Amino acid sequence: MKTTTLAIAAALLLAACGQSNDTKAQDGVFAENRVVPGDAAGMKASFAPVVREAAPAVVNIAARGVQVVRDPFFGIPGQRQTGSVGSGVIVRPDGVVVTNYHVINGMQQIKVVLNDRREFDARIVLADERSDIAVLQLEGVRERLPTLNIDDREEQQVGDLVLAIGNPFGVGQTVTNGIISALNRTDTGISDSGSFIQTDAAINPGNSGGALVDMDGDLIGINTAIFSRSGSSSGVGFAVPAAAVRRVVDSAVGGATAVVRPWLGVKGEAVSSDVARSLGLDRPQGLVVTEVWPGGPGARAGLSEGDVITAIDGAEINDQGGLNFRVGTREPNDTVRVSVLRDGQARTLEARVQSLPGNAELDNAVLIQSGGLSGAQVLGLNPALADSLGGDPFASGVIVGRVAGNSYASRGVGIRAGDIIMAVNDRPVSSPQQLANLPRGSQLLVERRGQRGVLVVR
């Protein structure tokens, strides 16, 4: 088993170096017929040629920030120094660097160290929490820097060799190797709109923001998270795919201050085994549409409740996270091909995806000045606002922005910022006006961090 594994690895390495007699690289992509090398020399192939090309574009990041803290006994505000160590990738020769959002979040000073030990200060151009991707600009760049090509063609396969390059534990640039363990991982708990590359290449704290590269030396992902009980690599790591990385980079380079993600305007549930049998499918695959936003892109394309979405632009869809990712990598007003099963018949619909309707800002919150919720600032939910807060764009209700600390809403009811008030006395709520002058005894159905409960106006 060990010999076979090494032989396959060597075959791929030889193909990358142009040394294989049977497997040729075509347009930078390995041919389908992977073969095992037939001699001992083939077993001694090295990752070094790939590393030489890729490593100079991978950087170390050291960030510093100041966090406001409050004395637990006297309540006196103070400051605490915070720090973060991670990795990044240069993707443009003028010093545009990609890293993880969580590496630079809350940091005021960012130092970037290149592979050749040159140091640059960096500023944040765009930080996108949803994808956990941030874009930096190095200051004082006077020459062309080495870069990695962002390969967003998504031609990788499970079993392909990959390298993870980064700065684990802050020890300095380190290269580890492994394979792609899985593709399109959505049920990870990392993001509701992520579809990750899973790899067994060792990824540890400090690798965040570093490069996952293929045997062509191209960037296919940004290393982001691991599953681990110890905090160190357990062979289950996740990388943000290049398609999502490019979307954030293009937004930043284009001058945007935020990533505008389009939507299809449909909500669904993964096809279970029971649903697959009832639909006559040979396996559980696809997303059953349960809601369609009136007048949204999906509705205009002809999608209906009960349709089963099986693919977007040919990429298989199996859950809501996968749909969100596929649509989210496109630009607003792009047209996507939606593969659908309806009444047992396959068909393809074309939908023009658009930005979510509504205003994502909390600036228009209304202050409740009387009744049980006095002192709370509230705002009616809309798809754009709900999505910006990491919630369901189809959610209805009124969201609480701020709550005065000594207000009745805070002391008498227990309302907190971020709560979604869904109903009062079993009646659905959709506007702030419905929350004015609430009498004692009113029962509020509230959603807080995904959990629902009832609060009573005392």
Which residues carry out catalysis?
A: 102, 132, 208
Q: Partners of 366 in the beta sheet?
A: 378
Q: CA 409, CA 419: separation in Å to the nearest integer? A: 12
In terms of Cβ atoms closer than 10 Å to its own Cβ (0-12, 13-18, 19+), residue 74 is exposed
Residue among 419, 423, 440 nearest 377 (CA): 419
Angle between helices 242-253 and 320-328 (to 10 degrees): 40
Q: CA 354, CA 384: separation in Å to the nearest integer? A: 11
Q: CA 35, CA 217: separation in Å to the nearest integer? A: 21
Query: Is residue 176 a contact partner of residue 203, using CB atoms and an 8 Å limit?
Result: yes
Residue among 199, 196, 98 nearest 154 (CA): 196
Longest dimension (CA), the chain: 85
